[in-house]
Amino acid sequence: MLNRVRSAVAHLVSSGGAPPPRPKSPDLPNAPSAQTAAPPEAPRSPPARAGSSAPAKTVEARASFSRPTFLQLSPGGLRRADDHAGRAVQSPPDTGRRLPWSTGYAEVINAGKSRHNEDQACCEVVYVEGRKSVSGVPREPSQGQGLCFYYWGLFDGHAGGGAAEMASRLLHRHIREQLKDLVEILQDPSPPPLCLPSTPGAPGSSDASHLVGPQSCCSSQKEVTHESLVVGAIENAFQFMDEQMARERRGHQVEGGCCALVVVYLLGKVYVANAGDSRAIIVRNGEIIPMSREFTPETERQRLQLLGFLKPELLGGEFTHLEFPRRIQPKELGQRMLYRDQNMTGWAYKKIELEDLRFPLVCGEGKKARVMATIGVTRGLGDHNLKVCSSTLPIKPFLSCFPEVRVYDLTQYEHCPDDVLVLGTDGLWDVTSDCEVAATVDRVLSAYEPNDASRYTALAQALVLGARGIPRDRGWRLPNNKLGSGDDISVFVIPLGGPGSYS
């Protein structure tokens, strides 16, 4: 994924103090805590990372190279997984317990763009126990049921693997923490309450009736769904995760940043949250249903330009928020050139002025598009130390940690074992289209019996192999002789109608 970050990003400069943190969640661990995150009540993949029980002094070494625990890699397997020349595809072993829903997974290291595989993955079943009854009345024993959600996450690191490794261990815990207030509400079919009762004597618990104004046209109540509460919990969890990275980035080697693509299954619905340029699609009966969109300097140009327009101090006098078809030359001062600003989707002409000679905030196109000539993704976690090359100008203010969340209701459709949700980092999608993925889904799954749980791992492996290509004299090549993906590639295949009960 380092193709998104100029080589100068390696010159990371420690920034000033972190922004004021939110109150820290009491049961969330610090960065060097144990990897597994599902509580004892919930099943989870067995820990098998080499050296996972090493003392604290090895935290830095583990952070620099680690693979998902569910791969159960031996020391020899870790060495093979880290081999840029062989690029062997890694998947969970056939023996032992399978991933939830018989999920398929496969990954492969890059072709030498970074020292280690900077992708990370997580697959867990997480139990959520409510804090207390929202009515303030103690629950009866029969009412104390919690919730269980299924969780999948892909984290594509850049400028180091620390952020991706940390997010893979902790983001689902932040989601669990945000859902604790909602356990009772989500199990109650009535509309969610607008306010939760505060503790007597706590700040804000005093009578505020004198602050309520007369009835007006704005006194109507907005309709809030249970689904939107889950979406809000996921969005808040991403923000808390990003803030924890900001607090702990120095002491716990949280270098670089990462894109995050997360799936949560809860109460019959699939929530797909994406912050970055990874992608998720559903292939259902041959139909392709996009479940995410990529966040790049091109797709978020207007948001970035608007921020630069409203807060020009963020540009440091080095950049202009305007976009031009190419870099302006000093000899073109006074001429009229095509441009567009934060309000425009089309182009118009303007007279070139002196400040237009500054470097554009957004430049390039496609995979070469960059923010401040540095980074090619605009949403994700981390990147708190990222600066403009040869400058102290921070880029983080232009990067958002908030994901876009899309919801798919599994109960509205009759799914067959060939209906799947495919998650992939950009190493897959750089060389593979949605239609090509759908064709591979049909080709591979049709060769297996519907009740064969290994079919989804075979599909994940086929997708990774198809994007990686085979080694030739001029690098890794696809069957059409085009360049294969030289990036890290990670793929989850989640069956929507296969073996097992999802409720």
Angle between helix axes 162-179 and 226-248 (nearest 10 degrees) is 140
Report how far residue 168's alpha carbon sits from residue 393's, in angstroms, rounded to the nearest whole number.
29
pLDDT value at residue 133: 57
- Ranges of the chain whose pLDDT falls below 50: 1-27, 29-63, 137-142, 201, 205-206, 209-211, 501, 503
Six-digit token string for 92? 């969970």
Report how far residue 309's alpha carbon sits from residue 38's, in angstroms, rounded to the nearest whole number.
44
The DSSP letter of residue 55 is -
Report how far residue 294's alpha carbon sits from residue 375's, in angstroms, rounded to the nearest whole number.
14
pLDDT value at residue 216: 53
How many residues belong to the chain? 503
pLDDT value at residue 231: 98
pLDDT value at residue 6: 43
Burial class (CB in 10 A: 0-12, 13-18, 19+), 223: exposed
User: Which of 314, 297, 33 is closest to 165 using CA atoms?
Assistant: 33
User: Which of 313, 314, 384 is closest to 16 using CA atoms?
Assistant: 384
The DSSP letter of residue 191 is P
DSSP string, 404-466: EEEEEEGGGS---TT-EEEEE-HHHHTT--HHHHHHHHHHHHTTS-TT-TTHHHHHHHHHHHH
pLDDT value at residue 249: 81
The DSSP letter of residue 46 is P
Is residue 463 within 8 A of residue 491, CB to CB? The reply is yes
pLDDT value at residue 425: 98
Note the pLDDT tens digit of each residue in 166-186. Answer: 999 999 999 999 999 999 999
Is residue 494 within 8 A of residue 114, CB to CB? The reply is no
pLDDT value at residue 198: 67
User: Which of 242, 231, 369 is closest to 299 using CA atoms?
Assistant: 369
Report how far residue 404's alpha carbon sits from residue 423's, in angstroms, rounded to the nearest whole number.
15
Calculate Rg over the CA atoms of the chain: 24
pLDDT value at residue 501: 47
Beta bridge partners of 152: 123, 263
3-class SS shares of the chain: helix, strand, coil, % to 5: 30, 20, 50
Note the pTM of the prediction, 2 decimals.
Answer: 0.84
pLDDT value at residue 65: 75
Beta bridge partners of 493: 104, 422
pLDDT value at residue 358: 96
DSSP string, 77-127: HHHHHT-TTT---B---SSSPPPGGG-EEEEE--SSSSSS--EEEEEEEEE
Is residue 499 within 8 A of residue 454, CB to CB? The reply is no
Distances (CA, A) of 365 to 198, 324, 362, 370, 458: 51, 12, 9, 8, 35
Which residue is it, tokens 């750089």? 430
**Strand residue runs (E) in 139-277:** 147-158, 257-266, 269-275
Report how far residue 80's alpha carbon sits from residue 74's, in angstroms, rounded to the nearest whole number.
10
Is residue 243 within 8 A of residue 249, CB to CB? The reply is no
Structural domains for the chain = 69-131+146-190+226-295+400-495 (3.60.40.10), 301-376 (no CATH)
Note the pLDDT tens digit of each residue in 133-142. Answer: 555 544 444 3
